[in-house]
Structure 1
Amino acid sequence: MVYKCTRCKRPVEIDYQYSGIRCPYCGHRILVKERPVLVKRVKAE
């Protein structure tokens, strides 16, 4: 799963075997999940 670092804005691939979650580029610990650009529309009834 691909995440994005909130400090350096680079995409980060998380390895769940590793116990700590940090950006490998800047060491920041806050990552957000990348959302798809595609918008899903649902017809309301």
Structure 2
Amino acid sequence: MAYRCTRCKKTVEVDYEYSGIRCPYCGHRILMKERPTTVKRMKAV
């Protein structure tokens, strides 16, 4: 799963078992899940 660090803005692949939730570049612990650039439209019922 791809995440983006809120401090250094780099894309990070997180391995939960190995390193936990931490940016390997700057050590920051707040990561945001990257969202796809396409818009998903659903028909209302």
Give TM class, smaller chain: 0.7 to 0.9
| Conserved 8 A contact 2:14-2:20 | no
Please state which structure has a larger fraction of its residues in helix: 2
Q: Can you give the 5+ residue segments of structure 1 that lack an aligned partner in the other structure?
A: none
Percent identity over the alignment is 76
RMSD over equivalenced CA pairs, Å? 1.2
- How many angstroms apart in 2 are the aligned matches of 1:24 and 1:12? 8
How many residues in Structure 1 have an aligned counterpart in Structure 2? Answer: 45
Give 4+ residue runs of structure 1 displaced > 2 Å after superposition: none
Gaps of 5+ in 2: none
Per-residue deviation at 1:43? 2.4
